[in-house]
Structure 1
């Protein structure tokens, strides 16, 4: 199944999606992240835990950190 992302639709503002199309739209969450054992903090949009883990390993010198969904 192909995922549809709202920002990639480039659709007219008058577009009305069918019910099946609405179910396919993935909502990406914004996270606030910070490093543990080293200095660093950032915000990012992630679709999965593996993306969060990759970001932590990339941005935290210690390789450890936490990310919590922003409100």
Structure 2
């Protein structure tokens, strides 16, 4: 689960960086769709500021090992 979530956040970060780069270039070149590209940049900022930091918790969980999970006795799963 943690690896999947971590990977997803990373892939989306890459995609948002790509979209933000295109949006910035379009705004600098001049476009009739200024609101659209401005919204892309604002959404990218939101993702990097609010969503991407969640990846750290998943990374921490991945590297923490499974000792605490394996400490649960097998009989505790049969209720």
Structure whose residues are more often strand by fraction: 1
Relative to the length of structure 1, the TM-score reads: 0.32
Higher relative contact order (CA 8 A, sep 6+): 2
Larger Rg: 2
Structure whose residues are more often helix by fraction: 2
